[in-house]
Amino acid sequence: MKQSQGPSAKFSEPVADYLEYLQRERGRSENTLRAYDVDLRNLGQFLHDHAGDPTLKLITVQMVRDWLAYLHESEISRTTLARRISAVKNFFAWALKHELVESDPALRLAAPKKERRLPHVLQPSQINRLLSEDEAPVEDDSKAGEQSTRKDNDVKSLAVACRDKVIAELLYASGLRISELVALDIADIDFERRTLRVLGKGNKERVVPFGKPAERVIIDWIRSHRKILATESAGDALLVGVRGSRLNVRQAREVIATALKSLGDTSASGPHALRHTVATHLLDGGADLRAVQEFLGHASLATTQLYTHVSVDRLRQSYRQAHPRA
């Protein structure tokens, strides 16, 4: 069967209305909207290619079940499958509420249980290496002129290196999501209290602290290096890319992925690993669970409780290694 280029307007137009509703009335983030769009387009494409491209009202329970069987045959991950089912169920619930369908064809769809994986957590020694401040090498006086020229030519690279230190320090110091980090403006920083004003998921604002090491690299970045990279298009953005505008999520992810890979002894691979790590370290240090929930901006305490399992696992491991009758 010939594949089309995409779902027709019969399906894509109500999906567009639904996404607009999520953005305007529910305050969903751009990342969430993109995920919903991809998942609903997947269903729309299937209906177009395999079910005769029905209008929304003519979509049946069997069509949706056939789509679900198609997903299973595609051997996608449990997480992706659960997300797609959730997106479709929420969409049809909205459509029913707004009388776009007479009955909900996705009502009885059951999502698979998500795999509950414990997050990768860096050890304190790994964090120290990741955030270590390398000392500048001592140069031979006879090569001073050559070194001066090299420094002039490499000033942009030094600025980028300083910015990357800010990224790593702030992700660990404040447990920010990567999207929250790149959205920070200089005005969001209170240096007197050493806090950040963060706009999190659902446009919920919170204030989180950061420590003296992060303060040092932020001040160094703002005073000496940011102006080397920033152009007028950066506005008040704290972090900027090499082209001078606000740093985006993809670029920031690459910075952390490269830094973690350079450690050579961890399977942690992305910025969320630092968020997991600071949460676990706080709980290991005796922080209150609800305080950590507020710190991370979790809507549900159950999400924060995942990190207690990491701490308990560490306790069990230490117990087996140290207790004479373990």
Query: How confident is the model over 159-206, as pLDDT tens digits?
Result: 999 999 999 999 999 889 899 999 999 999 999 999 999 988 777 888
Residue 112: inside a domain:
no
pLDDT score of 254 more than 70: yes
Of the residues 97, 132, 157, which one is the last residue of a structural domain? 97
- The CATH number of whichever domain residue 58 belongs to comes to 1.10.150.130
Residue 288: inside a domain:
yes
Angstrom distance (rounded) from CA 208 to CA 227: 26
Residue 104: inside a domain:
no
Query: Got the DSSP string for 203-239?
Result: G-EEEEE--HHHHHHHHHIIIIIHHHH--GGGTTBSS
- Same domain for 82 and 187? no
Are 218 and 232 in contact, with CB atoms under 8 Å apart?
no
Residues forming the active site: 177, 201, 272, 275, 298, 307
- Same domain for 51 and 141? no
CB atoms within 10 A of CB 35: 17
- Same domain for 78 and 187? no
Predicted pLDDT at 142 = 44
Domain that holds residue 201: 124-322
Percent over 90 (pLDDT), the chain: 47
**Looking at residues 130-156, what average pLDDT do you find?**
55
pLDDT score of 145 more than 90: no
Angstrom distance (rounded) from CA 269 to CA 275: 12
Position 138 confidence tier, pLDDT thresholds 50, 70, 90: very low
Reference 208, options 190, 221, 222, 220; nearest CA is 190
Predicted pLDDT at 324 = 62
- Same domain for 180 and 276? yes
**Looking at residues 242-246, what average pLDDT do you find?**
93
- The CATH number of whichever domain residue 219 belongs to comes to 1.10.443.10
Number of structural domains, the chain?
2
Residue 2 region, left (φ>0) first, then alpha (ψ -120 to 50), else beta? beta
Least confident of 38-52, 208-222, 281-295, 296-310: 296-310
- Same domain for 137 and 55? no
**Looking at residues 39-61, what average pLDDT do you find?**
92
Residue 116: inside a domain:
no
pLDDT score of 301 more than 90: no
Of the residues 97, 114, 138, which one is the last residue of a structural domain? 97
Position 139 confidence tier, pLDDT thresholds 50, 70, 90: very low
- Same domain for 87 and 234? no
Residue 3: inside a domain:
no
DSSP-derived 3-state class of residue 54: coil
Query: In angstroms, what is the C-alpha Rg of the chain?
Result: 25
Is 0.85 topped by the overall pTM? no
